[in-house]
């Protein structure tokens, strides 16, 4: 946000390359400088400020030249000594117009300029004088030139990192106080006394006429620079040659300085430009006219420190309670708000606050805390990995134990020719809640069951182990119907069910001599059967709710007689409710079609493998939604008929 140039009251007359080419290299004889000043004065400017030093007598003055002609041309030397000095001519030219000469502040005294420089009338209020920057020495012009000026102005510009940011608005030389060149030119133009008084925020103000210039307690002020503008400049060559209309200088503040090569006082501004030193004084004068100076209050550093503390406390509070993305968003938001507030204060109130320090501090705090959080997260991840490894080991052991609880029909019925039995259980997770069981109740009756515990994972697997044991016990102890077995099992399970889980079950008893099948269903997926040269059909039968849904329920049983070679497939809903990536269900009709491809001679293991493979092909890459349990029983006929065959 550079200062936009509004005022055109300040003109810079430059001794540039054109002037040097026309009138010779610098230093010019001071009668030529006097001619330049006189021509400028003819334009009736308000005041002339000289950004040029004349600390030594002019080497081209007539008296100096006369010394060279002594003994060679006495008459010429005498005539030269009778002429006024060039310094006197320049002083006389300066006296024809209000003019200000420069004073250069030095950090050590110069014996040529003993005593303080001429000081304008300055009134100090509130003890501000003691806080001004004091200089041990200074440079000023020779007395003959100095006498022609009505005021003196400081040239001092402090460079910070090679950049001109602050201008010494007023400084002390023993008892004298000298304002900067721009302030003194304005004061003389207004013919007003200068007052230096305290202002708000620990700053001071230089007041003259209707103008006030804010400054720090040491007299320095932050200048709001604008971009370099060539329209400020007028070549001295045009004025000396008469090609420039000096009436354009009427009522203007005119600065005279250098822009020629080898003479240039180059200074970098905060805008990144390198400009002529005289232009900085011109910009300072324009800023005074436009009231666009900047102010750095004494509370600025404290406010910035408080902002840093607020950032730090906010991050200390927020980071442990949020994730890295939200914490970073909070940090960025806070920095944006701080920068925006500083920009608004700069733009609308001319106040200088530095958000960079608090922002960098907050970023450092954020980085340190994030590093700590990352270290803690890494420690927790390591701990979780170790816990996960232990849990995985425990789950693997639980799976081995669970699968070990299930009978292997191939081993149990290896010598049994009346029936062919095969079974499969694939948990959706490491362990599951489905189970099956098959065993002989006596020499001719086979009991088999497929059940599904509500829920999945480890809790379901634990409940499954208990339920399986209870069902097997009920099958051996209850005489009568299969429905009575389920009712008895429900009573036992309900007493050991603190989590109020429920179980669906399909229990069957097959008489291996007669082929009579008795079954009861407690809310489970119906079984499928297929007679030789027939098609697969679901076993429709009345049943009841899952075990443990009702406190008391008498489960009905259904009986039917199997044909020799007929098979039964009991399964869980992990088959019919399997889904593919398009969220489509496998369904009963697809299962019926798959079973229809089995021949009359298909064994129990082939039936199980056929259904398992078809469900896998259908599901594809989809994650299993439920445990898959299959148990197939094929009745081959009574033992006597098998022997006869």
Same domain, 160 and 31: yes
Closest CA to 239 of 252, 253, 249: 249
Same domain, 361 and 280: no
Domain contains 78:
no
Write the secondary structure of 127-167 as one string of H (helix), E (strand) and C (coil). Answer: CHHHHCCECCEEECCCHHHHCCCCEEEECCEEEECCEEEEE
Same domain, 432 and 348: no
Coil, strand or helix: which one is 356? Answer: helix
Same domain, 192 and 316: no
Same domain, 339 and 246: no
Determine the structural domain holding residue 368 and report its residue range: 300-381
C-alpha dihedral sign at 285, 32, 26, 66: negative
Coil, strand or helix: which one is 442? Answer: coil
Specify the DSSP element, H or E, that contains 448.
strand 445-453
pLDDT of residue 529: 93
Cis peptide before 27 (omega within 30 of 0): yes
Same domain, 219 and 346: no
pLDDT of residue 537: 92
Domain contains 140:
yes
Q: CB of 315 within 8 A of CB of 366?
A: yes
> Model's pTM, two decimal places?
0.60
Same domain, 204 and 333: no
Domain contains 71:
no
Q: What is the DSSP string of 212-272?
A: EEEE-TTSEEE-------GGGEEEHHHHHHT-S-GGGGTT-EEEEEE-STTT--EEE-TTS
The set of residues, in sequence order, having a beta carbon less than 8 Å from that of 473 and lying 6+ positions away, is 492
DSSP 202: G
Give backbone dihedrals phi and psi of 544, rounded to 5 degrees, phi first.
-150, -175
Domain contains 507:
yes
pLDDT of residue 400: 77
Q: Domain count for the chain, please give it.
A: 3
| Chain-centre distance for alpha carbon 237 | 57
Same domain, 203 and 319: no
CA–CA distance, 528 with 498 (Å, rounded to integer): 34
Same domain, 230 and 369: no
Domain contains 5:
no
* CB neighbours of residue 113 within 10 Å: 19
pLDDT of residue 251: 94
* CB neighbours of residue 261 within 10 Å: 9
Domain contains 51:
yes
Domain boundary among 248, 269, 290: 290
Domain contains 500:
yes
Write the secondary structure of 500-546 as one string of H (helix), E (strand) and C (coil). Answer: CCCEEEEEEEEECCCCEEEEEEECCCCCEEECCCCCCEECCCCCECC
- Length of the chain as a residue count: 645
Same domain, 348 and 242: no
Closest CA to 183 of 160, 161, 215: 215
Same domain, 103 and 216: yes
243: left (phi over 0), alpha (psi -120 to 50) or beta: alpha
Domain boundary among 331, 366, 381: 381
Domain contains 346:
yes
Distances (CA, A) of 196 to 125, 130, 132, 206, 211: 6, 12, 10, 5, 12
Same domain, 274 and 333: no
CA–CA distance, 541 with 556 (Å, rounded to integer): 9
Residues of the chain falling short of pLDDT 70: 261-264, 392, 394-395, 430, 640-645
Domain boundary among 290, 309, 340: 290
Closest CA to 181 of 252, 109, 284: 284
CATH number for the domain harbouring residue 576: 3.60.40.10
């Amino acid at each position: 946000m550079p200062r936009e140039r509004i005022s055109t009251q300040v003109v810079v007359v430059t001794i540039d390359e054109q002037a040097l080419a026309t009138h010779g290299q610098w230093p010019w004889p001071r009668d030529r400088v006097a001619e330049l000043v006189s021509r400028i004065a003819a334009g009736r400017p308000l005041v002339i400020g000289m950004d040029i030093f004349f600390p030594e007598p002019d080497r081209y003055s007539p008296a100096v030249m006369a010394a060279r002609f002594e003994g060679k041309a006495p008459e010429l030397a005498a005539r030269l000594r009778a002429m006024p000095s060039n310094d006197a001519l320049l002083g006389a030219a300066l006296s024809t117009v209000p003019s200000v000469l420069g004073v250069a502040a030095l950090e050590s005294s110069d014996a040529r300029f003993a005593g303080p420089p001429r000081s304008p009338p300055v009134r100090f209020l509130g003890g501000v004088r003691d806080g001004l920057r004091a200089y041990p020495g200074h440079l000023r012009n020779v007395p003959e030139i100095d006498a022609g000026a009505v005021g003196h102005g400081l040239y001092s510009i402090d460079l910070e990192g090679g950049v001109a940011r602050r201008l010494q608005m007023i400084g002390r030389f023993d008892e004298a106080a000298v304002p900067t060149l721009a302030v003194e030119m304005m004061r003389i133009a207004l013919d007003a006394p200068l007052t230096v008084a305290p202002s708000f925020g620990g700053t001071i103000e230089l007041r003259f006429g209707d103008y006030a210039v804010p400054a720090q307690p040491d007299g320095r002020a932050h200048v709001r620079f604008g971009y370099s503008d060539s329209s400020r400049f007028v070549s001295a060559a045009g004025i000396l040659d008469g090609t420039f209309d000096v009436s354009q200088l009427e009522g203007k503040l005119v600065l005279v300085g250098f822009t020629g090569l080898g003479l240039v006082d180059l200074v970098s501004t905060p805008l990144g430009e390198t400009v002529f030193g005289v232009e900085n004084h011109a910009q300072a004068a324009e800023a005074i006219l436009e009231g666009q100076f900047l102010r750095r209050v004494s509370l600025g550093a404290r406010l910035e420190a408080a902002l840093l503390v607020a950032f730090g406390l906010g991050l200390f509070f927020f980071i442990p309670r949020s994730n890295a993305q939200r914490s970073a968003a909070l940090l960025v938001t806070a920095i944006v708000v701080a920068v925006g507030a500083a920009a608004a204060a700069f733009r609308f109130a001319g106040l200088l606050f530095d958000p960079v320090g608090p922002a960098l501090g907050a970023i450092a705090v954020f980085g340190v805390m994030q590093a700590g959080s990352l270290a803690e997260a890494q420690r927790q991840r390591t701990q979780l990995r170790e816990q996960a490894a232990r849990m995985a080991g425990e789950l693997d052991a639980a799976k081995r134990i669970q699968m070990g609880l299930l009978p292997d029909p191939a081993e149990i019925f290896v010598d049994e020719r009346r029936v062919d039995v095969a079974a499969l259980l694939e948990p959706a997770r490491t362990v599951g809640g489905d189970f099956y069981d098959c065993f002989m109740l006596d020499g001719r009756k086979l009991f088999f069951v497929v059940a599904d515990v509500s829920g999945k994972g480890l809790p379901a697997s634990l409940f499954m182990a208990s339920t399986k044991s209870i069902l097997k016990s009920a099958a051996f102890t209850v005489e009568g119907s299969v429905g009575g077995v389920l009712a008895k099992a429900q009573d036992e399970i309900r007493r050991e069910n603190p989590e109020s889980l429920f179980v669906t079950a399909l229990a069957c008893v097959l008489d291996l001599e007669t082929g009579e099948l008795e079954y009861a269903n407690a809310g489970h997926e119906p079984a499928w059967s297929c007679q030789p040269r027939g098609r697969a059909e679901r076993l429709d039968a009345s049943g009841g709710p899952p075990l443990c849904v009702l406190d008391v329920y008498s489960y009905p049983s259904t009986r039917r007689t199997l044909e020799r070679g007929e098979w039964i497939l009991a399964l869980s809903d992990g088959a019919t409710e399997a889904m593919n990536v398009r969220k489509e269900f496998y369904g009963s009709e697809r299962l019926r079609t798959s079973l229809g491809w089995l021949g009359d001679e298909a064994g129990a293991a082939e039936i199980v493998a056929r259904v398992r493979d078809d469900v896998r092909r259908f599901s594809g890459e989809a994650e299993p939604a439920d445990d898959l349990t299959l148990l197939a029983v094929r009745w081959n006929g009574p033992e006597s008929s098998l022997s006869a065959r």
